Amino acid sequence: METVVPTKRELFLGFLSLGMISFGGALPLARNMVVERRRWLRPEEFVELLGLCQFLPGGNIINLSVVLGMRFQGVGGAFAALLGLIAMLSMVVIALGAIYQHFHDDPHVRHLFAGLAAAAGLLISMAIKVALPLAAAVALVCFAAIAVPRLPLLTTMLVLTPVSVLLLARFGKNGGGQ
Amino acid sequence: MMEILTSLLTLFAELSRLAFGGGNTILPEMQRRVVEVHHWMSAEEFSALFALSQAAPGPNLMIVTVIGWHVASLAGALVATVGMFLPPSVLAVGVLHAWERFKDRPWRAAVQTGLMPMVVGLVAASAALIARSADLDWKLAAITAGCAALAFKTKIHPVWLLLGGGVIGMLAELI
């Protein structure tokens, strides 16, 4: 698959539009934009960078903007992507804060937001798209550890990642994406 | 005023280093500091701002910006945002730099392959946690299931699925 190297302007505008449409979890939208529509990264590169971002403190999507900007256009690119992501969102959230009193008693608006939040299904589909057989087994353990007994994220990651790396290095076929 | 801005900056810079996996991990601590330690707002106001940042587009860490705004208007918003987003960004730039340097080492390929199932598991876990809190009745659960199936099987842009979910959620309650 041919990939395209984005300019700083494209990074800024790309993350600007991504931020404005990301309700209830930006990751599926980020993958859609970065891999499927704008073709900045191949699917396996996206998973690789997302994996790095999950190990860093901060929001995944925020880290992803910084890491992508840095990869393509250096520090200036990282700034462009990060600013693109949060500048407009800051204004929106401040505007919402200012008019919140008018909104929060209206049941229609509450139900609209309830439906929006229910679109968590997007995340489920993304998890399936990325998985491979042996990797799927590890993914399942990771999922179970966090979603069922609610083990702390950091502990789970620190314990399970070395296991995953060893297992896949030993038994896995050259994985790394779809 | 200067004092409040400094407290905002240091509080969020400190929290930013603990925010593994995004905003939800640090939310309890953020609430404790903002409400109980600094008395910047009541617990109800904090919950309202949280709901608002969930409903607004973008990562739910944007709650930081609106807290800053609430405490010290525009300057507060700016300072809180910088405190929250700048330190992890600097770290991310450093880590990526190191990661690219080791491009050709065999262990990097192994780590990369091993990271992938972790990515999948973490994404699936957030999906499950969000679904559990969002799907309050069978209608909302059906929206989640339908949305997952369509996103997997078709090339419909996710925004249409989100809008569809929102509209159906609104209509379902009207009937």
Query: What share of chain A has pLDDT > 90, as a percent?
Result: 29
Cβ atoms of residues A13 and A84 within 8 Å: yes
* A-chain residue closest to B65, CA distance: A90
Q: Quick one: DSSP state of residue B26?
A: T
- Give yes or no for residue A142 having a pLDDT over 50: yes
pLDDT in tens, B21-48: 666 667 778 888 998 899 998 877 777 7
C-alpha to C-alpha distance for A153 and A155, rounded to whole angstroms: 6
Higher pLDDT, A67 or A159: A67
B-chain residues within 8 Å CB-CB of A142? 117-118, 120-122, 124-125
pLDDT means over runs of 10, chain B (175 residues): 93 87 72 90 77 76 92 94 94 89 82 78 74 76 85 80 80 74
B-chain residues within 8 Å CB-CB of A15? none
Quick one: pLDDT at residue B136? 76
The number of beta carbons lying within 10 Å of the beta carbon of residue A59 is 28
Q: Which of B136, B162, B172 sits opposite A119 (nearest CB)?
A: B162
3-class DSSP state for residue A149? coil
pLDDT in tens, A44-79: 889 888 888 877 888 888 999 999 999 999 999 999
- Give yes or no for residue A131 having a pLDDT over 60: no
Closest by CA to A154, choosing from A57, A80, A70, A86, is: A57
Question: ipTM of the predicted structure?
Answer: 0.76
Quick one: pLDDT at residue B4? 94
Quick one: pLDDT at residue A93? 87
Structure token digits, residue A65: 């903007």
Say whether pTM exceeds 0.80.
Answer: no
- Mean pLDDT value of segment A123-150: 68
**H helices present in chain A, as ranges:** 8-21, 27-31, 43-54, 60-103, 107-117, 121-130, 133-147, 153-171
Distance from CA of A118 to the nearest CA of B (A): 5
Backbone angles phi, psi at B156, to 5 degrees: -60, 135
Contact call for A124 and B124, based on CB within 8 A: yes
Contact call for A169 and B125, based on CB within 8 A: no
pLDDT band at A177 (very low <50, low <70, confident <90, very high): very low
pLDDT band at A175 (very low <50, low <70, confident <90, very high): very low
Quick one: pLDDT at residue B21? 63
* A-chain residue closest to B55, CA distance: A113
Structure token digits, residue B88: 């992890």
pLDDT band at A117 (very low <50, low <70, confident <90, very high): low
Quick one: pLDDT at residue A64? 93
pLDDT in tens, A15-52: 999 988 877 567 888 988 999 889 999 988 898 888 88
C-alpha to C-alpha distance for B81 and B75, rounded to whole angstroms: 10
Distance from CA of A87 to the nearest CA of B (A): 10
Quick one: pLDDT at residue B66? 92
Contact call for B61 and A126, based on CB within 8 A: no
* B-chain residue closest to A73, CA distance: B93
Cβ atoms of residues A19 and A86 within 8 Å: yes
Backbone angles phi, psi at B20, to 5 degrees: -75, 130
A-chain residues within 8 Å CB-CB of B62? 86, 89-90, 93
Quick one: pLDDT at residue A174? 46
